[in-house]
Amino acid sequence: MVNTAHLSKIDSAILDKIKQWLGPETDDDTRQTLQSLIETGKEDELIDSFYKDLEFGTGGLRGIMGVGTNRINKYTIAMATQGLSNYLLKHYTNEPIKVAIAHDSRNNSDLFARVTAEVFAANGIKVYFFSALRPTPELSFAIRTLGCKSGVVITASHNPKEYNGYKAYWEDGAQVIAPHDKNIIEEVQKIKSLADIKFKYDATMIEDIAEDIDELYLKALKNLSVSPEAIARQHDLKIVYTPIHGTGVVLVEPVLKRYGFTNVTVLASQSKPDGNFPTVIYPNPEEAEALKLALEKANEIGADLVMATDPDADRVGIAIRNDKGELQLLNGNQTGSLLIHYLLKAWKEKGQFKGNEFVVKTIVTTDLIPKIAAYYGVKSYETLTGFKYIAALIKKLEGKEKFIGGGEESYGYLIGDKVRDKDAIASCAIIAEMAAFAKDKGSSLYDTLIDTYVQFGFYKEKLTSLTKKGKSGAEEIQLMMKELREKPPINLAGSKVIRVKDYNQGSWINPQNGEKGTLDFPKENVLQFLTEDGSLVSARPSGTEPKIKFYFSVNEPLKNKSLFEEVSKQLDQKIDRLVTELNIK
């Protein structure tokens, strides 16, 4: 028995968990790692590893890999799968249950995917298994195509290399939402011992899938093309693409080839899948550093467009040539606005509108998108942050209204409804197509963006994320949200706050006159402050990372292109003032 008497900072509940993991139900490696942490007195690490169980957030189960209930390891993966299995068996009684499983390029993703498959199979559930890495959106597509009741992809998306995760999907190919998410958690919480997990499985219950699904998926993506004739004329558009050591390498180049692009350079130094992501600090296309090598290659060969996908290929970042001929990175709001504007313009030119189309954005995504949609007479909806809410809306409106596209500021977009999650494979194809469309008209994506600002208003956004790690960090984030609720700002950047939205309470109030109302959204821990001049500040703790995020959106009219730089600086100054006044640091 390992002596834990010297661990004075650790309470009895956490010690009980630690002792369970030192028992015979875990393997030698797990026990040895845990014993070393105890013997060396790593109390803070032990507390952080065991003070809570990982829970499903907006992105599923995600955390740092390691030993403990608050870490990603084969046991927490197995417990989640056993809980999901139990819920599936209760929910779908007297009918066969099938699931699909995929994984990304992260360290241990293949191991965790295999454990997931084996636990499902041990529970008598048929498994369709991508034995080689595949993008997250293809997993969503496979669930719907194969008639599965659920699915899992092992990924931590764009997080640092220390992380991994587990995204659970429902039969519509979307990430699990209420009430299923909470019911699955309840089932996991009923597992009191690791011995409750079923591991003995029948190998015939696991069927490998790969190329057949690839082909069906690529055909579905090809059908999203709106302007094939523009591509035919601009097929040699110079494109540099990087998968940043992730799954996009499997399908982005093939889909671009099917669209008709003939001049695509895949960045060799980042084309090999590698969970250590050796050429970047973070494998996140939101970070300029992650695109550095791709930009260098693009400048070397004179490319028109750069695209980069994250490890599970559900997000994409891009760079385009500006009016000076320099490559310029776009943020998620800019790319999303360009995509929606292109799709609606191209649909209109082709006479494809039937009058029941719609687009979707999240509450922290630019309000430029609904302005564009209104111009084309297309409905625009708004959901909470997280693509599962966009997917739920698509499902709700299925058969009544036609989904064209949508997205969120965090570089995730969806075109068409064959997939029910962010899809960087489809996005890369349509981004390339809209670049060809602009070039075919003697323009560019940069010119299109500025023209959009002139037509609809110059919207500028900024995201500030504060990382607060561990138990103390989680408590600090809770305190920040509590103080904002109890003492919301009355004025921001010289403009009156006319609406404070509290999505956790499902209500809003105008602090100037006391007027109140309700919000028709599921409850979520988000606060928003809207000012008289149209500025918007949102505060939202992340559901998947130890962060609190502040989203800033400001706007001004742009009378003509020549004023772009001047108005851009004014908007930057307004955002800086908002950050200062809210004391965000």
The H-assigned helical ranges of 202-331 are: 211-222, 228-233, 252-259, 292-301
CA-CA-CA-CA torsion sign (419, 425, 427, 431): negative
Q: HSE of 384 in the Cβ direction (CA atoms, 13 Å)? A: 26
Q: How far is CA 171 from CA 55, 98, 153, 342, 346, in A?
A: 21, 9, 14, 31, 32
Rounded distance between C-alpha atoms, residue 231 and residue 256, angstroms: 10
First to last CA, the chain: 45
Which residue among 105, 109, 140, 157 is the active-site one? 157
Candidates 283, 317, 541; CA nearest to 409 is: 317
Active site (annotated) includes residue 337:
no
Burial code of 361-384, b = ≥16 C-beta within 10 A, e = fewer? bbbbbbbbbbbbbeebebbbbbbb
SS3 assignment, position 256: helix
Q: Burial, 24: exposed, middle or buried (Cβ in 10 Å; 0-12, 13-18, 19+)? A: exposed
DSSP 176: P
- List CB contacts of 1: < 8 A, sequence separation 6 or more: none
Which amino acid is it at 110? Answer: D
SS3 assignment, position 392: helix
Q: Find tokens 């890999």 and name the residue.
A: 65
- Could you list the active site residues? 157
